[in-house]
Chain A
Amino acid sequence: MLAKRKMKSNELADIVGITTANLSILKTGKAKAIRFSTLEAICEALDCQPADILEYVEA
């Protein structure tokens, strides 16, 4: 989604208001949970729906 919007990770982190380290945790799937406020901010910055950035992977 970042590539589609031609946006860099640090730009997104700045817009959303999280650190690049935390954005990296989100991207690598190491995060245990995501706040609705963060999800909302990411969707707003990327102009997308939660389903566009979330994916269920069977363990």
Chain B
Amino acid sequence: MKDKTTILSIITWVVLLSSVSILLNDLREFDFNQFKEFQNWAKSADKNESWFTSKNVIQWSYYIISIGLFFLKGYLIYGFSYFLSILKEIENGHYFSDKNIKYFEKIGHIFIQYTISVLVLRFLLAAIENSTFNFFNELKTEFTFLIPAGLAFYILAEIFKRGKQAEEDNELTI
């Protein structure tokens, strides 16, 4: 069992580090010069003009949403890091611990929150770009598999709650 958890920990570390490096690369490729443009515009903007319809603000919103997407990717990686905590608990022999139940629930929350937030942000991006947003096409994209995965983690948390109860009963059976 310990060998398996070691292998799983190594795989999780590889996945985590790969995800972090992909995220950092995406950030590096992101055009930060646009922020300077925005700052210049903010200084010279006509205060009488309606800010909401201003082209620069719309462009700025595009970047804010992009940053939001980066943040969410980081949040998802944070969710993956809980796998390591679960593996550590298993390694210590605490299979049905309260911590594991909490971690499973947290992973479920993060997966579902990530998917819903990305869907909302993609909708906003499409609205800003004046492109069409097809909800069902978005659902077909690869990231939406995280909704059933999140639900699976909720189910696992419930199973572990029952397992913990059974373990306690077993410990108190003499």
The interface stretch among B16-24, B28-36, B107-115, B166-174 is B166-174
A21 closest partner in B (C-beta): B174
Number of interface residues of B (CB under 8 A): 5
Q: Which residues of A contact B169 (CB under 8 A)?
A: 32-33
Main SS of the interface on chain B?
A: mixed
A30 within 8 Å of B (CB atoms):
yes
Residues 146-174 of B, flagged 1 when their CB comes within 8 A of A and 0 if not, give 00000000000000000000001100111
Q: Which residues of B contact A18 (CB under 8 A)?
A: 174
A35 within 8 Å of B (CB atoms):
yes
B171 closest partner in A (C-beta): A32
Asked if residues B173 and A30 are in contact (CB atoms below 8 Å), the reply is no
Bound-state Cα–Cα, A23 to B174, Å = 8
A residues 13-37 in Cβ contact with B at 8 Å: 18, 22-23, 25-26, 30-35
Using a CB–CB cutoff of 8 Å, the interface residues on chain B facing chain A are 168-169, 172-174
Can you pick out 21 interface pairs between chain A and chain B where the beta carbons lie within 8 Å of each other?
Answer: A18-B174, A22-B174, A23-B174, A25-B172, A25-B174, A26-B174, A30-B172, A31-B172, A31-B173, A31-B174, A32-B168, A32-B169, A32-B172, A32-B173, A33-B172, A33-B173, A34-B173, A34-B174, A35-B173, A35-B174, A38-B174
